Amino acid sequence: MFSAVGAPREFSSISLGPSAPAIAYCRTHRAVFLAELKDFIRFPSVSAQPEHADDVKGCAAWLAEHSRRIGMERVTVVPTGGHPIVYAECCHTPGRPTVLIYGHYDVQPAEPLDEWQSPPFEPMVRGNDLYGRGASDDKGQLFAHMKALEAFLQTGGELPVNVKCLFEGEEEIGSPNLTAFLRRDRHALAADVAVLSDMPCWRQIGRPSPNRCGGRLVSNWKSAPLTGTSIPVSMAESSTTRCRSFAKSLPRYTIELGG
């Protein structure tokens, strides 16, 4: 667990180790992953609408149970003054960097309903895309990270880094309780790098996705694309703001990937 608050650690490179079994696992479980993502999207976890408070709570419980099932540890549904935060970790590689994965499981209201081609909480595949409220903000991106963790954990491989996951249920209403949580548990949450799953994942037809993994590194108060591909400033703006807010809340850290 990260402990030296205020004393940045530096890593010149990180070896991912053998990932072929994990990649093969993802390929053979594609249909299962899709069915699970649909289950996740079926929760109308609309944080802004009080009538959906129990749905938000149910979605948090589902996410926590799913985290346990894929092999994550210390899984906790943390109550807040509003909607709960889901925490999970897998920290078994002392001396390796610790990565904090952030995502949110709440969604925007679905109204106006008559503009949907299919019901917002009945996810539907059309062509190569999955349609449903939250599919691209942020349940799909969050889930991509979880499935990557599952692929490593379920194929006997160790995670190449220590991982902590923080999934909030209030992003769409301005995260009113997140900062207090970060401050209160800053030592337990401390990490060398934060990966934000709440990123654009749209692609234009005929063009590669600007951010295939839906993640972004926060490094020493600045943000840098995880994949090395560039992200248009306008698309990255909100996430950059969130990166900075994380950087202010968490201890400072320094990390370089890939030398």
Taking each helix axis from N to C end, the angle separating 140-153 and 20-28, rounded to the nearest 10 degrees, works out to 120
Q: How far is the CB of 110 from Zn ion (least distance, A)?
A: 15
Phi and psi based region of residue 183 (left: phi greater than 0; alpha: psi -120 to 50; beta: remaining)? alpha
Q: How far is the CB of 95 from Zn ion (least distance, A)?
A: 33
The piece of 39-47, 124-132, 138-146, 199-207 that touches Zn ion (CB under 5 A) is: 138-146
Decide: is 198 part of the binding site for Zn ion (CB under 5 A).
yes
Decide: is 138 part of the binding site for Zn ion (CB under 5 A).
yes
Decide: is 168 part of the binding site for Zn ion (CB under 5 A).
no
User: Pick from 137, 150, 168, 170: which binds Zn ion (CB under 5 A)?
Assistant: 137
Q: How far is the CB of 198 from Zn ion (least distance, A)?
A: 4
The H or E element spanning position 257 is none
The piece of 39-47, 134-142, 144-152, 176-184 that touches Zn ion (CB under 5 A) is: 134-142
Are 228 and 238 within 8 A, CB to CB?
no
Interface positions, 141-160, toward Zn ion (CB under 5 A): none
The site string for Zn ion over 97-116 (x = CB under 5 A, - otherwise) reads --------------------
The piece of 161-169, 178-186, 195-203, 240-248 that touches Zn ion (CB under 5 A) is: 195-203
**Please, which residue, 161 or 218, has the CB nearer to Zn ion?**
218
Q: Is 36 a catalytic residue?
A: no
Report d(CA 189, CA 88) in Å as an integer: 10
Contacts of 165 (CB under 8 A, 6+ apart): 67, 72, 86, 87, 88, 89, 100, 101, 103, 145, 146, 149
**Please, which residue, 151 or 166, has the CB nearer to Zn ion?**
166
Report d(CA 17, CA 26) in Å as an integer: 17
Q: Is 237 a catalytic residue?
A: no
The HSE-up count of residue 176 (CA atoms within 13 Å, CB side) is 7
Question: Cis omega before residue 137 (within 30°)?
Answer: no
Residues within the interface to Zn ion (CB under 5 A):
137-138, 198
Active site residues: 106, 171
